[in-house]
């Protein structure tokens, strides 16, 4: 198989972690006889520094021309503390999601048995948890009209959904539920929001096309609670952009650390694969970041964009083996981990490659 | 002291639990020589059934005339499954919040040592947690203009804040932080939302008036994660209406159960006191609901609306004693609780009264 893959490291720890996602893809190419060619492009704070634009035209053109994209992270503390900045790194990420039509963000919460102890939740609460989130990614209050009045006394963002936006992601989520435990939980705030009421109506309609899947509707506040109380009760979770952002970060604690979670953003064209963790500038360049989420993002790319299930499995197994052998990065170590087993980004990457 | 208190049981388990909040207030009145008089009014589904209106004029008039309100819960599954219903129980609650100007919702996450085991979080993660949430309650996407187009293919809700709305709740939260551990964490999504950028700007300004309080700004996705990972790091949390709704329900798992959490909604007039749990129709009328959140709401009323700190403490102590003696309702029992120690609503209420 011949594929051309674009690497967009982005900001902060993005460079360090995508290095390892890429090396794993190269290795898979060698071992399985695929021709993966790689290109690189800039985005976010890095791109603002270089060009003034968080998503330069050249990056967008390369992205559209590639078969799949491996992305690192975005953001910089400088903008976080300056709410009045007009140009911001995140605009690059939001624009590429929109331009590539990446309306479905898949976030699997995969629990490695070896990491049961790394979580703040009790092992008996966690054991057996396996959730697949479908977060809508190109609508909601993220992309609605924004306003600020002239004297800075008022600001607004329009939360909104079109019926077709809900339909297409709902179908993807139901299709996935069919191949899993046949349960789908749709999360909204239909007791308050009109947007959520439309969401719920549409999901109720699509549900009729999937009589073999059991549907539940849950309010976001309750879902945020149930996820901690009893994560096992979820199979596929379908939700809007903002609620999905919140719930999946919360769910990262189930997997022991954000450093473990990969995500796939797909739509009708090129797929986009990224860890759910952020740019973590506080540890950038210190060889401390956990590269596993980027490596697992590469596995999702092999599986979802290229249909290479065996190769994807080989990567996931390599990660599982490494954890089984006791190797940990700092974020997934705990008080009983031997100091000699705690690795830096690079050493962890190498263990998985082996 | 002479006070007139309005009881609004609302829907579902509301009637059962407010019964005990009221009894505790009566008892405190007797023991401390206060003249508390009580009236009752309807709201929510109960009020829709009786009058067609989730907040009848009579209820609103009584509410405005009272010194404080003890509220139960609101909502009914009938409307949840019918997203097209025009009249909904929750409208009553939202309207009374707006009409009484209850812009600050205080939700203390109080951890009783006896309940450390009832949580799904590990005891060592929980121990020492003490968070006070300030949730803005009369703005945000809850009250912005709602739209639905004629052919039902589009829906929207306007998320918005005025500067003065952020200022007044920020001051309340900072004032409280001063009397506690002097740390305030403001939660927003300023990397995406204009509303959040205004929010952050205003909080940064108000922070200057409180140089003795340490301010941190956190994105909502990160906050949802940190709350599970390391709840001890929070002291006062200040946030908008929607984010506060989500975070406080999530935080209820820290306290072991939603059945334990009380809240106070205050503004410039009458205070409004309610459990954060919902109407829980599945257990309504079965003598299963936990009355402690309503009882602790009564304690908040004594403290915040009437300035009766000793009386409030007496109530909180009675709850603590009851838990120490091993008594539990089903929601806060665990596998090691003796069956004979598990009580119904009424029996638990009586134990606290004793
Ligand atoms: C960086 C930010 C804009 C982004 C989001 O909110 O979508 C991130 O939190 C994510 O979840 O991918
Ligand atoms: C019932 C509902 C409208 C309400 C809210 O979202 O505010 C509830 O969840 C709460 O937290 O008080």
The tally of CA atoms less than 13 A away on the side-chain side of residue A314 is: 15
Identify the residue whose C-alpha is closest to ligand 1 atom 11. Answer: A245
Backbone angles phi, psi at B4, to 5 degrees: -115, 125
**pTM score, two decimals?**
0.95
For residue B256, what pLDDT is reported? 80
Ligand 1 centroid to residue B214 C-alpha, Å: 26
What's the CA gap between A228 and A232, in Å, rounded? 10
- Which own/partner pairs from A179-182 qualify as long-range (CB within 8 Å, at least 24 positions apart)? A180/A130, A180/A132, A180/A235, A180/A236, A181/A130, A181/A235, A182/A212, A182/A213, A182/A214, A182/A235
**Cβ contacts of residue A235 below 8 Å, gap of 6+?**
A130, A131, A132, A177, A180, A181, A182, A183, A184, A185
Strands, E, within A195-275: which ranges?
Answer: 214-219, 236-239, 262-266, 271-275
A95-151 pLDDT, tens digit per residue, is 999 999 999 999 999 888 888 888 899 999 999 999 999 999 999 999 999 999 999
Has residue A232 got a pLDDT over 80? yes
Ligand 1 centroid to residue A54 C-alpha, Å: 15
Q: Describe the strand order of the beta sheet including B236-239 as a list of residue ranges.
A: B35-40, B2-10, B68-73, B271-275, B262-266, B104-110, B130-136, B236-239, B183-188, B214-219
**Contact between residue A89 and residue A74 where contact means Cβ atoms under 8 Å apart:** yes
Helix (H, G, I), strand (E, B) or coil at B115: helix
Distance from CA of A214 to the nearest CA of B (A): 15
Place A354 in a pLDDT band, splitting at 50, 70 and 90.
Answer: confident
Q: For the domain A120-254, what is the CATH code?
A: 3.40.718.10
What's the CA gap between A260 and A2, in Å, rounded? 28
What's the CA gap between B327 and B345, in Å, rounded? 11
Helix (H, G, I), strand (E, B) or coil at B161: strand
For residue B337, what pLDDT is reported? 83
A110-119 pLDDT, tens digit per residue, is 888 888 888 8
CB contact under 8 A, A195 and B84: no
Q: Which of B121, B164, B193 has the CB atom closest to A141's CB atom? A: B193
For residue A337, what pLDDT is reported? 83
Stretch(es) of chain B classified as CATH 3.40.718.10: 1-102+259-354, 120-254
DSSP-derived secondary structure letter, B305 = I
From B221, B268, B282, B310, active-site residue = B221
From A142, A161, A174, A210, active-site residue = A142
From B67, B189, B210, B331, active-site residue = B189
For residue B303, what pLDDT is reported? 96
Residue B116 contacts A where some CB pair is shorter than 8 Å: no
Identify the residue whose C-alpha is closest to ligand 1 atom 3. Answer: A90
Active site residue B303: no
For residue A149, what pLDDT is reported? 96
Ligand 1 centroid to residue B79 C-alpha, Å: 32
End-to-end CA distance of chain B: 23
**Contact between residue B109 and residue B263 where contact means Cβ atoms under 8 Å apart:** no
With tokens 């309080």, the residue in question is B213
Is the sign of the CA dihedral B57, A195, B79, B134 positive or negative?
negative
A242-291 pLDDT, tens digit per residue, is 999 999 999 998 888 888 899 999 998 899 999 998 899 899 999 999 99
CB contact under 8 A, B242 and A146: no
Ligand 2 atom at minimal distance to the Cα of residue B249: 11
Q: Which of residues 134-153 of A touch B (CB under 8 A)?
A: 141-142, 144, 146-148, 152-153
Ligand 2 centroid to residue B142 C-alpha, Å: 10
For residue A80, what pLDDT is reported? 86
Stretch(es) of chain A classified as CATH 3.40.718.10: 1-106+257-354, 120-254
Gyration radius of chain A over CA positions: 20
User: Where is A27: in which H helix or E strand?
Assistant: helix A14-32
Has residue A333 got a pLDDT over 90? no
A251-263 pLDDT, tens digit per residue, is 998 888 888 899 9
CB contact under 8 A, B155 and A120: no
For residue B258, what pLDDT is reported? 81
Q: Residue A154: which of B201, B157, B137, B161 has the closest Cα?
A: B161
Residue B91 contacts A where some CB pair is shorter than 8 Å: no
Number of the ligand closest to the Cα of B73? 2
Residue B324 CB neighbours (<10 A): 12
Architecture of domain A1-106+257-354: 3-Layer(aba) Sandwich (3.40)
Provide the mean pLDDT of chain A.
95
**Contact between residue A99 and residue A57 where contact means Cβ atoms under 8 Å apart:** no
- Residues on chain A touching B81 (C-beta within 8 angstroms): 217
Q: Which of A122, A146, A220 has the CB atom closest to B246's CB atom? A: A220
For residue B118, what pLDDT is reported? 84
**Contact between residue A62 and residue A41 where contact means Cβ atoms under 8 Å apart:** yes
Residue B162 contacts A where some CB pair is shorter than 8 Å: yes
Distance from CA of B171 to the nearest CA of A (A): 17
Number of the ligand closest to the Cα of B107? 2
End-to-end CA distance of chain A: 23
Strands, E, within B1-65: which ranges?
Answer: 2-10, 35-40
Number of the ligand closest to the Cα of A261? 1
Intervals of chain B under pLDDT 50:
none
Residue A317 CB neighbours (<10 A): 12
Q: Which site among B128, B146, B148, B158 would you substitute to test the A interface, given the most A Cβ atoms closer than 10 Å to its Cβ?
A: B158
What fold characterizes domain B1-102+259-354? Isopropylmalate Dehydrogenase (3.40.718)
């Amino acid at each position: 198989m011949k594929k051309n893959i674009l690497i967009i490291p982005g900001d902060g720890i993005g460079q360090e972690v995508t290095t390892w996602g890429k090396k794993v893809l190269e290795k898979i190419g060698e071992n399985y006889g695929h021709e993966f060619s790689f290109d690189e492009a800039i985005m976010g704070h890095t791109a603002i520094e270089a060009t003034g634009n968080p998503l330069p035209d050249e990056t967008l053109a390369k992205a559209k021309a590639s078969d799949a994209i491996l992305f690192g992270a975005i953001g910089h503390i400088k903008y976080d503390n300056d709410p009045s900045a007009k140009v911001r790194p995140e605009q690059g990420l939001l624009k590429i999601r929109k331009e590539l039509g990446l309306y479905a963000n898949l976030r699997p919460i995969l629990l490695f048995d070896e990491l049961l102890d790394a979580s703040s939740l009790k092992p008996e609460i966690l054991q057996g948890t396996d959730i697949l989130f479908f977060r809508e990614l190109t609508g909601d209050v993220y992309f609605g009209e924004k306003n600020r009045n002239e004297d800075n006394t008022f600001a607004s963002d329009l939360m909104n959904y079109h019926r077709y936006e809900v339909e297409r992601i709902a179908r993807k989520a139901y299709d996935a539920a069919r191949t899993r435990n046949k349960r789908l939980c749709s999360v909204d705030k239909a007791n308050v929001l009109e947007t959520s009421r439309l969401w719920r109506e549409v999901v109720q309609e699509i549900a009729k096309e999937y009589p073999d899947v059991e549907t539940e509707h849950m309010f976001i506040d309750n879902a945020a609670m149930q996820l901690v109380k009893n994560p096992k009760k979820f199979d596929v979770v379908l939700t809007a952009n903002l609620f999905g952002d919140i719930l999946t970060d919360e769910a990262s604690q189930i997997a022991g650390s954000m450093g473990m979670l990969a995500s796939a953003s797909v739509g009708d064209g090129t797929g986009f694969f990224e860890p759910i963790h952020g740019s973590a500038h506080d540890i950038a360049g210190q060889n401390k970041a956990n590269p596993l989420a980027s490596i697992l993002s590469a596995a999702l790319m092999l599986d979802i964009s290229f249909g290479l299930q065996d190769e994807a499995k080989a990567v996931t197994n390599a990660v599982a083996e490494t954890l089984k052998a006791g190797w940990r990065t700092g974020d997934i170590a705990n008080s009983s981990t031997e100091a000699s087993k705690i690795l830096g980004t690079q050493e962890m990457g190498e263990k998985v490659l082996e």
